């Protein structure tokens, strides 16, 4: 029986099916430019993990010693963003740039992958067993030789349980207590506070004050707990008429100084004379002579201080007389009755208790040099970098027979060590902090360790098992168990505290060491013969003590004052520069007997004529690809000297010789023109004129199709209503718009908008880093991302020299006044996509890659963008950013997230490929998430239910986001403020959705007539 | 090809002679026209060398582009907010060059300007190749050039069309239309010449090719009538395009709100600039060509003189436009415009602005001198300056505006990189390659049209009464001859 040939083969329909499927498959595979990857689902899904939904673990930020509460946003087992814990008493939901950048420490591509042992002079990977065995053996030898007492343990200062735990462990091995080092601590102020109030750091109430006078205390940067201070300072300034006036006295106008209403430029070290004159223990004339400030100005300051009640006076102690200054200021506060009203010793910040004076660390280093120290252990610190070169730390460390580093990064110190036992990143660790009395800030891991690291506390517990004496004391299997056992209130309290991130109670603190410091090398008064210029070295507000330098977000975040990134610079007064023929970018050489550095000049109005300044934090010789060979370290210039009363390192200690090298290095700056040219971008109003605002009724013509929110001039958006089909028709016609007016998302009724209160904004730039973190913005300035062109080979920040930074929100800093060398004003204005109602970028895009959404958003479609860049040309705010290289493409040399930095990427946000335009989206992913959540819960979106990343992080609470078309949202109220204005709207008819509220200036009170 | 007439090619050509009949005194007969012009088509060693250089330049540009596609646009000198750099400058430069061709071949045809006859073919070919070159730049300046077709309205399942409000979409239409029309115009004009070449060709393959290309032209009256109509129609069709295409290109800028771009002046300003630069380029091409090809007795000094007057006129128009721009910048009272204008002329960008002003406004003033108008070396040197000046004109319009916009915080500088320069060089290579191929494959002077203005074939070897015996050097055809054969094409139409 022969088969029907028509049936034996493939049938026509089948053939067509296969053909269709085959074509589709081929086409689909062919279309994809990336290799196919497999998604493997959980076999057994963990209870808490829902793919695509974030978990938030409450923890504590360990980037500085303040101990702010954070929420670790974690999805599918990876922590990708840190947000401030809104319930935390210290930071109230805010988080600074350094805190935001902690995730880049976690996923840093240069972290140690596992333990390392030095063999034949080279560090080689080892197993934990080998490493622990080696250390155990060394500890045993040390004990048996009776030399355990010579060991030194340097630990980064932290509050909470660990210091006491560590001391107990050390004691169990017969070793002396650890040294708790905080490189940013202001020892002079700590010492003076102890003497005056008995606490290290009283709370400061800026909002209670009527006048704030800072004598070099940079309370918005690294002086004290910057985030809570900034929160309170911003609250104070937001009181407008009731806000305190702020005067800054110091040789250099720092970021804090830039927020002052008046800057009194004095010679370094002369603050004490001024304070004494105000107190009446010195004469105004003497102070005027010492400080170079006119007597009239000092007299006015003295009068003002006496008149204003209450006031808040603050001291920064970086000079040799820092403790005396701080004591004098404390005394003055006491005298003026400020203690108890603006200075609150009854509510201390305990984070700063128990910091070892720098002089003691120096003494330990001297012991190493003399060969007394047999074992050095370092955790979380980099003494080889942070101590000045003149201290010759590396040389001293090399004399120690066995050096152990718990550092997770190949920094200058760990490169000298014999054994590396890499610690967990704080995001992988258990712990706690005690920022204020009776409050415990909990620390828990957000995810499993990224690399083969171990938490130091666990390592110590493991080691304790090897010693019978220690084993008896440390029975806990791991540090988490130890924490639970020692938590006030026990396991239940611990579990409850973890949920909120905050517990109550007090943990054991190491025994207080209030013995007077013995200072081997007391600082001498500044030697006037070593040069013509005083040298002010200040810790970078962004990079801190230099530990931030390996995080590209921080390297790329422009310094809030100079706007320079990826580079070191020397600040020179403009008149001095004129006299010496120096332009910004001219390479200068600074020389002291201790050493010399070369860096480009930054001509700055905010520095004393006979002073030059440099930021500390760059100039690493190791510490990974982002830090190494970027900038120079001004530590090379500094002599080693300590404040004899507090033991703090004296930063302002020398004069330098300044010479022009004759070469030119362009400044890696994001600044174009520092002047507004009368264009009203950053507006301000004097407090006296505040009452006049809003009295004149603004007139505006009726626009066809004005949206319903007509109460708000700039937010009436003809295009927004066009999107809902209102234009040209009195009847709302569904088919004319993209979304029906009654669409469930309420898109057609919304107008997402933002207010930015410039009276609050301090220019700290935390919003910028928050935006980088939230929106997968690539950093472009790393040396390896350099464009290899003939002129810019291998320059860190080369792309930024070409203006290619991608900061969707940028902090502009405009100067006002000061051209004549007098006092000047800094105005900070965060500039981001204004989401214009009548957006110039939209009609020029030939492919509809940018268009207007009904809810007022100006939307950018990456897939559609072909990269004509016309939108950017036509954007008057210049807030559109182009992918000049494949920053988001792993195969490209400019890839911004080398393994495993890419684990940080926010899964809700597309990573952009090369050749497309991008810009601020108002965190559209958060908007849609909130809308969908509301839809799932069958309710409307609640007013102020969510906010953008920048608004969330802002430690000044200057940014408010929401729906301006709904008066229940805060933003709708804020936008009607009398200080409200739009940038460029009057000139260009753009209908921006961002409303700025004018900065409020507090000029000096007019001298009484006849005075 | 050297002809007997060459030594005294310009003989008897006084300046300012309007009569078309005296245009080509050194051309005696149709045969000579065929011989002279088709004779230039023999490739020479110098030509091969020139072509090799052109292709080398093109390859350098192509390599640079490939590198740019691989790495991203960042290899070029873009410095945000200067988002449009040398590529757009060069794009407008080439579009502008493309304008003189159509002006000469179409508008001057309609105006019956006699001097166009011998230079128009060259100018028209220049137009086509310039537009072909220009058309590359909007694509290679894209961030994702492989997606350029998103700008074309084609049916797609996403139902997305281009944004018709965007001047860039208008650009696509304008450039493509212009390329189509100017190519057609060039080809239509070539048909009788192709037939003439076919008739003389002996190589069978080439003969076949020319036959196909000449569409079987048989030189009949009917063909001539259709040809003349078609040519006139296309001339009329192209004329508004000359004005509209560059107006649309100027809208790329004028429709935006960038200070320095946002001006109603832009359309006429760009058109005048385009014609000016195009005539400059015509000089750059035709002056060496008439010397190397021995065509001085075709492209006579009178033709160049007339073209130089046009050049001078457009230079004055362009100069007026500059002054208007500057005046409005100063007078307009807008701080943004004023600040930008100052930066452009006296600030950061003074050097570029003054290169532009000197090359485009000052140097062409020499053309007021008749002596210099008829001095081919000076014309050639001047044309190089005009090309440079017009490139810089676009540079001055685009870069200072973008670098000095509303937001002072984003003010910047701009410097092209070697990738920009390589691609610019490549564009010259691409243009030259086509042009060189053209001059050795197709007649650079319109044979048919030249024949229209040479004396008709005489029925008698004797000159009419009172007319001196023609010498081989000098053919005086001033008087109308009664006894010519009515064969001149179009003569009786």
Range B225-243 average pLDDT = 90
What domains are defined for chain A?
A: 116-171+387-504 (3.40.50.740), 187-352 (3.40.228.10), 533-664 (2.40.40.20), 684-1001 (3.30.70.20)
CB within 8 Å of A786: residues ≥ 6 apart: A792, A793, A794, A795, A796, A798, A799
Q: Where is A440: in which H helix or E strand?
A: strand A439-443
Contact B83 A846 (CB under 8 A): no
Sign of CA dihedral A303, A306, A310, A311: positive
Query: How close, in Å, is residue B170 to chain A by CA atoms?
Result: 9
Is the distance from CB of B399 to CB of B17 less than 8 angstroms? no
Q: Is A894 on the interface with B (CB under 8 A)?
A: yes
Residue A862 near chain B (CB below 8 Å): no
Q: Find residues 406-445 of chain A whose CB sits inside 8 Å of chain B.
A: none
CA distance A894 to chain B (A): 9
Q: Residue A804 is nearest to which of B80, B144, B410, comparing CB atoms?
A: B80
Q: What is the DSSP string of B361-406?
A: IIGGGGGGSHHHHT-HHHHHHHHHHHHHHHHHHHHHHHHHHHHT-S
Interface of A with B in 829-858 (CB under 8 A): 831, 840, 843-848
Supply the DSSP symbol for A566.
Answer: S
- Radius of gyration over every alpha carbon of chain B, rounded to an integer in angstroms: 24
* Mean per-residue pLDDT, A626-649: 92
Distance from the Cα of B439 to chain A's closest Cα (Å) equals: 36
Which chain B residue shows the shortest CA-CA distance from A864?
A: B150
Judging contacts by C-beta atoms under 8 Å, the chain B residues touching residue A844 are 163, 165-168, 255-256
Taking an 8 Å cut-off on Cβ atoms, the answer to whether A868 and B142 are in contact is yes
| pLDDT (0 to 100) of residue A656 | 95
Strands A245-250 and A262-265: parallel
Would you say residue A1001 has pLDDT above 50?
Answer: yes
What is the per-residue pLDDT for A603? 95
pLDDT tier for residue B451 given thresholds of 50, 70 and 90: confident
Selected residues 103-132 of chain B with any CB under 8 Å from a CB in chain A: none
- Delimit the domains of chain B by residue range: 6-15+26-453
Look at A677 and B148 and tell me if their CB atoms are within 8 Å.
no
Chain A touched by B348 (CB under 8 Å): no
Is A738 at the interface with chain B, CB within 8 A?
no
Among B409, B413, B420, B422, pick the best mutation site for testing chain A contact (most A Cβ within 10 A). B409
pLDDT digits (tens, 9 = 90+) for A413-468: 999 999 999 999 999 999 999 999 999 999 999 999 999 999 999 999 999 998 88
Q: Does the pLDDT at position A613 exceed 70?
A: yes
pLDDT score at A20: 65
Question: Which chain B residues are Cβ-neighbours of A987 within 8 angstroms?
Answer: 336, 406
* Closest A-chain CA to B150: A847
CB atoms within 10 A of CB A118: 18
Query: Mean of the per-residue pLDDT values for chain A?
Result: 88
* Cα A447 from Cα A102, distance rounded (Å): 14
Chain A residues with CB inside 8 Å of B169's CB? 846
Q: Is the Cβ of B406 closer than 8 Å to some Cβ of chain A? A: yes
A803 neighbourhood in chain B, CB within 8 Å: 79-82, 410, 412
Across A150-159, A787-796, B53-62, least confident range? A787-796
Average pLDDT of the residues of chain B: 85
Q: How many whole angstroms separate alpha carbon A104 and alpha carbon A109?
A: 9
Give CA–CA dist A571/A579, Å, rounded: 15
Confirm if B242 and B271 have CB atoms less than 8 A apart: yes
The pLDDT confidence band at residue A794, using thresholds 50, 70 and 90, is: low
Decide if A673 and B339 are in contact by the 8 Å CB cutoff: no
Whether B143 and A867 lie within 8 Å, measured CB to CB: yes
How far away is chain A from the Cα of B405, in angstroms, using its nearest Cα?
7
Region A142-146: mean pLDDT is 91
Nearest of A975, A955, A949, A951 to residue A963 by alpha carbon: A975
Q: Which two tokens stand for residue A332?
A: 């003055």
State whether the Cα torsion A315-A318-A319-A322 is positive or negative: positive
The answer, yes or no, to whether residue A568 has pLDDT greater than 70, is yes
Size of interface A-B (CB pairs under 8 A): 181
Query: B75 CB near a chain A CB, below 8 Å?
Result: yes
**Maximum CA pair distance of chain B?**
84
* Chain B CA closest to residue A888: B72
Residues 6 or more apart whose CB falls under 8 angstroms from that of A931 comprise: A745, A746, A941
Going B134 to B135 to B138 to B144, the CA torsion angle's sign is negative
What is the model's pLDDT at position B89? 95
Tell me which residues of chain A, numbers 805 to 824, contact chain B at a CB-CB cutoff of 8 Å.
810, 812, 814
Residue appearing with tokens 């101990």:
A67
Q: Is A752 on the interface with B (CB under 8 A)?
A: no
d(CA A161, CA A506): 9
Question: pLDDT tens, A711-723?
Answer: 344 455 444 445 4
Rounded to two decimals, what is the model's pTM? Answer: 0.90
Q: Quick: pLDDT tens for A336-385.
A: 999 999 999 999 999 999 999 999 999 999 999 999 999 999 999 999 99
Least confident of B91-95, B235-239, B473-477: B473-477
Q: Does A27 touch chain B (CB under 8 A)?
A: no
Partner-chain contact A915 B412, CB within 8 Å: no
Residues A805-826 have pLDDT tens digits of 999 999 999 999 988 878 899 9
**Helices B301-331 + B335-345 axis angle, to 10:** 140
Using DSSP's 3-state secondary structure scheme, residue B188 falls into helix
Q: Is B258 on the interface with A (CB under 8 A)?
A: yes
Which residues in A167-205 are b (16+ Cβ under 10 Å) and which e? bbbbebbbbebbbbbbbbbbbbbbbbbbebbebbbbbbb
Contact A844 B74 (CB under 8 A): no
Is the CB of residue A527 less than 8 Å from the CB of residue A593? no
pLDDT tens digits, A511-531: 776 666 778 888 888 888 889
Label residue B110 by pLDDT band (50, 70, 90). confident
Q: Work out whether strand A611-616 and strand A533-539 pair parallel, antiparallel, or are unpaired.
A: parallel
Taking CB atoms and an 8 Å limit, are B168 and A844 in contact across chains? Answer: yes
Comparing A43-47, A236-240, A691-695, B42-46, the range with the smallest average pLDDT is: A691-695
The alpha-carbon gap from A235 to the nearest alpha carbon of chain B, in Å, equals: 28
Among B76, B143, B147, pick the best mutation site for testing chain A contact (most A Cβ within 10 A). Answer: B143
Contact call for B74 and A787, based on CB within 8 A: yes
Interface test with chain A among B408, B415, B422, by most A beta carbons within 10 Å? B408
């Amino acid at each position: 029986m022969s088969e029907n040939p028509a049936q034996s083969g493939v049938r026509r329909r089948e053939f067509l099916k296969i053909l269709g499927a085959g074509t589709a498959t081929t086409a689909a595979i062919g279309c994809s430019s990336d290799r196919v990857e497999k998604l493997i689902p959980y076999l057994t899904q963990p209870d808490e993990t829902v793919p695509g939904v974030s978990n938030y673990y409450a923890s504590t930020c360990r980037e500085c010693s303040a101990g702010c509460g954070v929420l670790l946003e974690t999805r599918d087992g990876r922590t990708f963003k840190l947000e401030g814990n809104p319930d935390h008493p210290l930071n109230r939901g805010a988080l600074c740039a350094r805190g935001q950048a902690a995730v880049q420490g976690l996923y840093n591509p240069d972290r140690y992958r596992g333990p390392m042992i030095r063999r034949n002079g080279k560090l080689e990977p080892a197993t934990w067993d080998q490493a622990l065995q080696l250390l155990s053996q060394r500890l045993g030898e040390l004990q048996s030789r009776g030399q355990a007492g010579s060991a030194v343990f340097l630990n980064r200062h932290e509050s909470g349980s660990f210091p006491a735990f560590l001391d107990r462990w050390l004691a169990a091995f017969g070793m002396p207590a650890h040294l708790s080092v905080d490189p940013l601590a202001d020892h002079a102020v700590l010492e003076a506070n102890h003497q005056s109030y008995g606490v290290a750091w009283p709370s400061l109430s800026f909002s209670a004050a009527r006048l704030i006078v800072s004598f070099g205390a940079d309370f918005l940067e690294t002086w004290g707990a910057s985030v809570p201070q900034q929160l309170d300072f911003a609250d104070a300034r937001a009181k407008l008429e009731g806000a305190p006036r702020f005067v800054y006295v110091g040789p250099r106008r720092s970021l804090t100084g830039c927020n002052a209403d008046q800057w009194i430029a004095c010679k370094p070290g002369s603050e004490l004379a001024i304070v004494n004159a105000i107190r009446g223990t010195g004469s105004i004339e003497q102070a005027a002579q010492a400080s170079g400030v006119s007597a009239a100005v000092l007299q006015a300051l003295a009068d003002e201080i006496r008149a204003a009640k209450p006031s808040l006076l603050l001291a920064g102690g970086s000079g040799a007389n820092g403790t005396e200054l701080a004591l004098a200021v404390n005394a003055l506060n006491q005298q003026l009755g400020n203690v108890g009203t603006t200075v609150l010793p009854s509510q201390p910040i305990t984070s700063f208790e128990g910091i070892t004076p720098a002089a003691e660390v120096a003494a330990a280093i001297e012991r190493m040099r003399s060969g007394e120290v047999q074992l050095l252990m370092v955790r979380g610190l980099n003494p080889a970098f942070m101590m000045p070169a003149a201290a010759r730390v590396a040389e001293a460390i090399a004399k120690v027979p066995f050096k152990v580093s718990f550092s997770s990064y190949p920094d200058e110190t760990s490169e000298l060590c014999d054994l590396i036992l890499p610690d967990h990143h704080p995001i992988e660790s258990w712990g706690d902090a005690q920022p204020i009395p009776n409050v415990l800030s909990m620390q828990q891991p957000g995810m499993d360790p990224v690399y083969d690291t171990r938490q130091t506390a666990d390592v110590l517990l493991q080691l304790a098992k090897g010693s019978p004496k220690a084993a008896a004391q440390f029975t806990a299997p791991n540090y988490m168990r130890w924490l639970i056992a020692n938590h006030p209130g026990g396991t239940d309290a611990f579990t409850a505290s973890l949920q909120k991130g905050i517990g109550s109670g007090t943990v054991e603190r190491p025994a207080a060491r209030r013995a007077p410091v013995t200072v081997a090398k007391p600082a001498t008064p500044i030697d006037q013969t070593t040069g013509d210029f005083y040298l002010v070295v200040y810790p970078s507000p962004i990079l801190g003590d230099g530990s931030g330098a390996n995080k590209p977000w921080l390297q790329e975040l422009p310094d809030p004052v100079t706007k320079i990134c990826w580079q070191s610079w020397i600040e020179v007064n403009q008149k001095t520069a004129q006299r010496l023929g120096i332009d910004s970018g001219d390479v200068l050489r600074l020389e002291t007997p201790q050493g010399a550095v070369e860096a480009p000049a930054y001509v700055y109005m905010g520095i004393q004529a006979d002073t030059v300044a440099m930021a500390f934090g760059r100039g690493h010789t190791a510490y990974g690809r982002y830090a190494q060979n970027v900038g120079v370290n001004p530590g090379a210039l500094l002599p080693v000297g300590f404040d004899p009363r507090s033991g703090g390192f004296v930063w302002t200690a020398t004069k330098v010789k300044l010479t022009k090298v004759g070469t030119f290095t362009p400044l890696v700056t994001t600044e174009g023109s520092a002047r507004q040219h009368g264009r009203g971008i950053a507006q301000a109003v004097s407090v006296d004129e505040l009452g006049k605002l809003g009295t004149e009724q603004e007139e505006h013509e009726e626009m066809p199709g004005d949206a319903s929110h007509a109460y708000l001039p700039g937010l009436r958006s003809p295009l927004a209503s066009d999107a809902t089909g209102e234009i040209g028709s009195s009847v709302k016609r569904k088919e004319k718009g993209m979304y029906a007016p009654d669409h469930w998302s309420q898109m057609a009724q919304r107008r997402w908008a933002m207010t930015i209160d410039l009276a609050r904004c301090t220019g700290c730039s935390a919003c910028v880093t928050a935006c980088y973190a939230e929106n997968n913005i690539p950093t472009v300035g790393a040396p390896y991302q350099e464009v290899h062109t003939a002129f810019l080979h291998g320059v860190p920040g080369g792309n930024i020299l070409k203006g290619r930074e991608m900061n969707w929100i940028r902090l502009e800093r405009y100067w006002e006044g000061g051209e004549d060398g007098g006092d000047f004003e800094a105005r900070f204005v965060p500039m981001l996509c204004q989401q214009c109602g009548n957006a110039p970028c939209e009609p020029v895009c030939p492919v509809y890659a940018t268009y207007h959404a009904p809810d007022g958003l100006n939307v950018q479609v990456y897939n559609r963008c072909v990269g004509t860049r016309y939108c950017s040309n036509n954007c008057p705010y210049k807030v559109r950013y182009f992918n000049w290289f494949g920053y988001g493409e792993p195969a490209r040399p400019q890839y911004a997230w080398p393994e495993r930095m890419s684990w940080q990427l926010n899964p809700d946000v597309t990573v952009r490929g090369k050749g497309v335009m991008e810009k601020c989206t108002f965190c559209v992913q958060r908007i849609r998430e909130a809308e969908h959540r509301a839809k799932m819960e069958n309710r409307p979106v609640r007013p102020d239910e969510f906010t953008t990343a920048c608004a969330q992080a802002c430690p000044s609470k200057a940014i408010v986001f929401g729906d301006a078309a709904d008066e229940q949202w805060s933003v709708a109220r804020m936008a009607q403020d009398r200080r409200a204005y739009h940038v460029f709207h009057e000139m260009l008819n753009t209908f921006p959705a961002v409303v700025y509220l004018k900065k409020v200036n507090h000029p000096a009170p007019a001298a009484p007539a006849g005075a | 090809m050297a002809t007997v007439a060459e030594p005294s090619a310009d003989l008897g050509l006084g300046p300012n002679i309007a009569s078309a009949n005296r245009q080509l005194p050194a051309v005696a007969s149709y045969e000579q026209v065929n011989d002279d012009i088709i004779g230039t088509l023999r490739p020479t060693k110098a030509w091969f060398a020139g072509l090799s250089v052109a292709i080398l330049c093109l390859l350098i540009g192509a390599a640079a582009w490939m590198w740019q596609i691989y790495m991203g646009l960042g290899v070029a000198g873009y410095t945000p907010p200067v988002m449009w750099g040398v590529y757009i400058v060069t794009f407008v430069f080439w579009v502008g060059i493309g304008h003189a061709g159509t002006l000469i071949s179409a508008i001057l045809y309609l105006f019956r300007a006699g001097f166009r006859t011998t230079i128009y073919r060259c100018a028209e070919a220049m137009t086509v190749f310039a537009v072909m070159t220009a058309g590359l730049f909007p694509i290679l300046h894209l961030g994702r050039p492989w997606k350029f077709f998103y700008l074309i309205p084609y049916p797609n399942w996403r139902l997305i069309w281009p944004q018709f409000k965007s001047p860039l979409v208008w650009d696509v239409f304008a450039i493509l239309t212009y390329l189509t029309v100017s190519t057609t115009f060039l080809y239509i004009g070539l048909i009788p010449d192709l037939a003439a070449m076919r008739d003389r060709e002996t190589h069978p393959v080439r003969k076949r090719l020319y036959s196909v290309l000449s569409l079987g032209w048989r030189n009949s009256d009917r063909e001539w009538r259709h040809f003349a109509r078609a040519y006139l129609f296309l001339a009329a069709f192209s004329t508004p395009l000359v004005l509209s295409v560059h107006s649309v290109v100027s809208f790329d800028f004028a429709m935006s709100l960038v200070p320095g771009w946002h001006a109603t002046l832009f359309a006429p300003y760009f058109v005048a600039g385009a014609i000016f630069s195009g005539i400059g380029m015509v000089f750059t091409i035709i002056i060496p060509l008439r010397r190397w090809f021995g065509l001085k007795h075709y492209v006579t000094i009178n033709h160049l003189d007339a073209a130089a007057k046009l050049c001078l006129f457009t230079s004055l128009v362009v100069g007026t436009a500059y002054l208007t721009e500057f005046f409005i910048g100063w007078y307009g009272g807008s701080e943004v415009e004023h600040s930008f204008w100052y930066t452009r002329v006296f600030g950061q960008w003074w050097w570029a602005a003054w290169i532009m002003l000197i090359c485009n406004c000052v140097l062409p003033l020499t053309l007021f001198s008749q002596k210099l108008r008829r001095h081919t070396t000076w014309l050639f040197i001047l044309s190089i300056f005009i090309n440079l000046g017009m490139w810089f004109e676009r540079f001055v319009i685009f870069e200072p505006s973008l670098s000095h916009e509303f937001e002072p915080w984003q003010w910047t500088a701009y410097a092209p990189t070697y990738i920009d320069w390589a691609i610019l060089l490549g564009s010259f290579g691409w243009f030259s390659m086509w042009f060189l191929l053209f001059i050795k494959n197709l007649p650079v002077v319109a044979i048919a049209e030249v024949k229209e203005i040479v004396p008709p074939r005489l029925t008698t070897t004797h000159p009419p009464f009172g007319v001196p015996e023609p010498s081989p050097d000098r053919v005086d055809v001033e008087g109308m001859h009664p006894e010519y054969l009515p064969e001149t094409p179009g003569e009786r139409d």
